[in-house]
């Protein structure tokens, strides 16, 4: 039998042997675990790395046609996210509808603008033919102008003032002579000097003439010719001068005109005129007198200023103008 002392001596050796075996077995197990887990971990890392790179870089294409297309370059995260959104393989019809609708709107807008500009330009550069003076249509338009003139605020004010008397221009002339005069014949009618109405102040001697200047008097498109303006001013300023002459006739010796603003055609204008009292050739001289006048709009803005000298010729006997002219 083994003694107790022997058992006690052998026990530490057994414990040490057990520890050595346990350590060696643990090392073997760790080695086996490393040998089997390392390829798996490497594979999982490669897969995760490939997935993370797929987020910013597309996978290589297998087809030859796709291989020729370079991969897109992104500048920020938003563009990458937009590219990662799945898109249909065939284009949808909704973008086409939007694009076609926008094209139709643009085409319609430019068409309307072009038609408007073209119509306006043709109306200015090549206006429609106006009726000839003394024609049936022209007389109808003249009556319309007469009614329109009497409704103007200035005409209503002067008609209600007892110091002013008024009449239609050249009503004292024979009707058969009107076509042979410049302002009532070639320049007359709705397309020219369509209508003139004269207001005269008995006390001050001032004259106001409301006149329609038609579109056929234009030099530049829409602007009355300067020569036509001079003709109108010459006749309107001659009224107060001839009314002071004993012979009731006279001619223009000098005409000074200052064009300040363009006078537009196709509208109402007024001419103010009055004999100069304190100049050479005053009212006391019955054969020569100066007259000043202005061409104004209905608001009183001066567009043209004028000054004229009228004389009674000594060697030529002119026909006297009596009555309302």
Do 208 and 199 form a contact (C-beta atoms < 8 A)? yes
Q: Tokens standing for 221?
A: 């498109």
pLDDT, tens digit (0-9, with 9 covering 90-100), for 181-228: 899 988 998 899 999 999 999 889 999 999 999 999 999 989 999 999
Q: Tokens standing for 38?
A: 């390392």
Do 265 and 220 form a contact (C-beta atoms < 8 A)? no
Sequential DSSP letters for 174-212: -GGGGGGSTTTTTTBSTTSEEEEEEEEETTT--EEEEEE
Dihedral angle of Cα 144, 148, 149, 154, to the nearest 10 degrees: 180
pLDDT, tens digit (0-9, with 9 covering 90-100), for 12-36: 666 777 777 677 667 766 666 665 5
Q: What is the mean pLDDT of the chain?
A: 79
* Cα distance between residue 18 and residue 12, in whole Å: 10
Phi, psi at residue 224, to the nearest 5°?
A: -70, 140
**Cβ-proximal residues to 321 (8 Å cutoff; 6+ apart), any chain:** 172, 242, 248, 249
pTM score over 0.85: no
Considering only residues 3 and 320, tell me which one the structure prediction assigns the higher pLDDT: 320
Q: Tokens standing for 276?
A: 């100069």
Of 270, 275, 278, 303, whose CA–CA distance to 290 is shortest? 275
- Residue 129 has, within 13 A of its CA and on its CB side, a CA count of 4
């Amino acid at each position: 039998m083994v003694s107790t002392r022997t058992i006690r001596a052998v026990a530490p050796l057994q414990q040490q042997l057990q520890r050595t075996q346990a350590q060696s077995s643990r090392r073997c197990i760790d080695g086996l675990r490393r040998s089997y887990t390392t390829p798996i971990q490497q594979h999982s890392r490669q897969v995760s790395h490939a997935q993370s790179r797929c987020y910013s870089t597309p996978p290589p294409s297998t087809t030859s046609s796709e291989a020729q297309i370079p991969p897109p370059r992104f500048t920020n995260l938003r563009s990458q996210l937009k590219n990662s959104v799945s898109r249909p393989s065939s284009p949808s019809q909704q973008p086409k509808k939007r694009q076609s609708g926008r094209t139709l709107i643009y085409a319609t807008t430019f068409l309307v603008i072009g038609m408007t500009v073209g119509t306006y330009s043709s109306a200015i550069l090549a206006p429609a033919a106006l009726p000839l003076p003394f024609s049936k249509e022209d007389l109808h338009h003249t009556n319309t102008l007469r009614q329109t003139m009497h409704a103007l605020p200035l005409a209503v004010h002067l008609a209600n003032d007892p110091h002013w008397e008024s009449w239609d221009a050249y009503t004292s002339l024979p009707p058969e002579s009107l076509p042979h005069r410049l302002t009532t014949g070639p320049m007359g009618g709705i397309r020219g000097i369509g209508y003139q109405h004269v207001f005269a102040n008995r006390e001050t001697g001032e004259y106001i003439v409301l006149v329609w200047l038609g579109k056929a008097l234009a030099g530049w498109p829409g602007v009355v010719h300067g020569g036509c303006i001079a003709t109108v001013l010459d006749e309107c300023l001659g009224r107060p001068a001839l009314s002071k002459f004993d012979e009731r006739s006279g001619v223009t010796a000098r005409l000074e005109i200052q064009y300040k603003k363009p006078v537009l055609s196709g509208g109402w204008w007024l001419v103010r005129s009055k004999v100069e009292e304190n100049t050479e050739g005053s009212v006391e001289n019955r054969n020569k007198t100066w007259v000043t006048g202005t061409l104004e709009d209905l608001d009183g803005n001066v567009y043209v200023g004028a000054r004229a000298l009228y004389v009674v010729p000594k060697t030529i006997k002119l026909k006297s103008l009596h009555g309302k002219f």
